[in-house]
Amino acid sequence: MNQASGARSTTKSGDTTKRHPHQHEHSHPHPLALEAKGVTLAYERTVIFEGLDLSIAEGQVTTLIGANGSGKSTLLKAFGRLLAPSVGSVELNGRPVKAMGTREVARLLAILPQKPLTPSATTVRDLVSRGRHPHQSLLRPWTPNDSVVVDAALASTGLTELGDRDAGSLSGGQLQRAWIALILAQEAPTILLDEPTTFLDLTHQLDVLRLVRTINRQRGATVVMVLHDLTLAGRYSDRLVVVGGGRIIADGTPWEVLTPGILREAFALEALVIPDPSSGSPLIVPVDPDPDSPSA
C-alpha cells in the first residue's frame, strides 16, 4: 500500500472484524483529521452502516464513491456532525465531535452540503463573509483581518469582480465557486464537500475540482468529498473509499481501487481501466455488452 493512500478501514460485526480482500491495513504517516470508530448510522429503522471504522489522514484528498444509495452522503454527514451515530463515535483531531461546541467545530471543519440554500437578497461578498462567523463573538466583532480573508477567498475563486452581485443571479458554476469561497473564508483545516460538481457542466466541474486540489496543496487542507464521476475522482484524489452494502468495499489509491473487478462489484459496471493520456490517472472506459452473447 502506498503510504500516501491514507488510513485504515474495517467493518466489524459483533466481536468479529471482517476485512474485504480489497481493503488494506494502513499505517498512519500523517495525524488523523477524522475518525469513525465502530459507527452505526441509521435513518429511523433503516441501518446504513453498522460497526464501521474509517480514518482520514490529514492533508489529503479522500473521495467517497459508490453506487446510488450506498451511503456516501450519510457517511459525510456523520463526519460533519449532521448525523449522530446511534452506536460508536466520530472524532475530529482526536476528540469526539459530540463533546465539542458548534463554534469550535466550525473553526476546525467546514462542510458544503449537496444543495446549499442561497439566502435571498445577499451579495456574493456577504455570502462569503458568513464564513467568518465561527471566528467572531461579542468580544471579537468584525476586524480588518476578516475583510482581508474574504477578499483573498473571492480572489482565489475568481469572484472579485462579482462581489457586489446578488448571489441569486449567479450561474451554477459561479454560485458553486461562491460557496467554496465561503469555505475558504472559514479557514477550517478540514473540508467536507458533498457532490460539489452536481448540476455543473464538464468545464465547471473541472474548475471546481482544480480549485479543491489547489486548496489542498497550497493550504494543506484535508478534503473529504463525494463524487459520482469515477474518472474525475481518480484524477483529483489521493485516496478513494468505495462504499456499498453497508460496508467498505475497497480503500486505497485510485489505481488500487479503480480496477475492473471492483467496478464490477461496486457498480455492476463492466469497464476497461487505462491511463488517462493527459493526467496518467485511471480512465474508466465502459464496455458495451456483446449483443451476440447469451447474457446480453
- Residue 163 has phi, psi (to 5 degrees) of -55, -35
Written as nine digits, the cell of 128 is 462569503
Q: Which of 236, 295, 293 is nearest to 268 (CA)?
A: 295
| Four-way CATH pick for 3-286: 1.10.10.10, 3.40.50.300, 1.10.3470.10, 3.40.50.360 | 3.40.50.300
Give residue limits of the domains in the chain.
3-286
Using CA atoms, how far residue 96 sits from 43, 78, 153, 175, 237, in Å, is 21, 12, 30, 33, 26
pLDDT of the chain, 296 residues: tens digit per residue:
333 334 434 433 333 333 344 444 444 556 899 999 999 999 888 899 999 999 999 999 999 999 998 999 999 999 999 999 999 999 999 999 988 988 899 999 999 988 888 888 899 999 999 999 888 777 778 888 899 999 999 998 889 999 999 998 998 888 989 999 999 999 999 999 999 988 888 988 998 899 999 999 998 999 999 999 999 999 999 999 999 989 999 999 999 999 999 999 999 999 999 999 999 999 999 998 766 655 54
CB distance 150 to 184 below 8 Å: no
For the chain, the residue count is 296
239: CB partners within 8 A, 6+ apart: 4, 5, 6, 60, 61, 62, 63, 251, 252, 253
- What amino acid occupies position 195? E
Global confidence as pTM:
0.84
Report the distance separating Cα 107 and Cα 104, nearest Å. 5
Residue carrying the nine cell digits 489547489: 214
